[in-house]
Amino acid sequence: MSEPNAQKAFPVSWEQLHRDTRALTWRLTAGERKYKAIVCITRGGLVPALIVARELNIRLIDTICIASYHDYKEQGDSQIMKGIGPELAALAADGGSEILLIDDLVDTGKTARIVRDMLPKAHFATVYAKPMGRPLVDTFVTEVSQDTWIYFPWDMGLSFVPPIVS
């Protein structure tokens, strides 16, 4: 679902994102798995990955850089601009069982499918999930409907709001 089609807006403040990402980390600690590295999906995964890395005391962090090309209505092709680096080759060799993959959200699941194919045994966590992508995520915090557009704090600014009664 690309923004022009979305009927509902879900704006997220910095505080809320911080709180929700901490909640994601609590959920991750409830499982038995321990992670040696975080791989975040740029760009949206960068901020959640910072917060999770701080909470889990993980200092080995890499990126998978994916560019999606959107036209007015549909998500277009996705191009992998950077895969995981050589430092993580040993950890990736078994499919990534000790790697934590982080993104801000899963929507159609297209991005998730690409990274899951690259690291099939990694644990994939997002802060937010929409129904289409939800089956591809191992751990998330908040589900929003498919016709909702999530606005992140880095995409927003303070602006005048007209009074309810004018």
Ligand X SMILES: O=P(O)(O)OC[C@H]1O[C@H](OP(=O)(O)OP(=O)(O)O)[C@H](O)[C@@H]1O
Would you please indicate which residues are annotated as catalytic (active-site) residues?
Answer: 103-104, 107
Q: CA 83 to CA 24: how far, in whole Å?
A: 24
| Candidate residues 12, 44, 62, 88; the one interacting with Mg ion per rule CB under 5 A | 44
Known binding residue 77? Answer is no
* Shortest spacing between CB 117 and ligand X, in angstroms: 13
Residue 133 site contact among Mg ion, ligand GUN, ligand X, none (CB < 5 to 8 Å, cut-off depends on kind): ligand X
Is residue 140 within 8 A of residue 116, CB to CB? The reply is no
Closer Cβ to ligand X, 34 or 44, answer by number:
44
- Quote the CA–CA distance of 60 and 104 in Å, as a whole number: 19
* 149 contact, one of Mg ion, ligand X, ligand GUN, none, CB 5-8 Å limit per kind: ligand GUN
Contact, 125 vs 136, CB < 8 A? no
Q: Does 107 bind ligand GUN (CB under 6 A)?
A: yes
Strand partners, 31: none
**Token pair for 58:** 């993980």
Summarize as ranges the residues that interact with ligand GUN (CB under 6 A). 105, 107, 149-150, 152
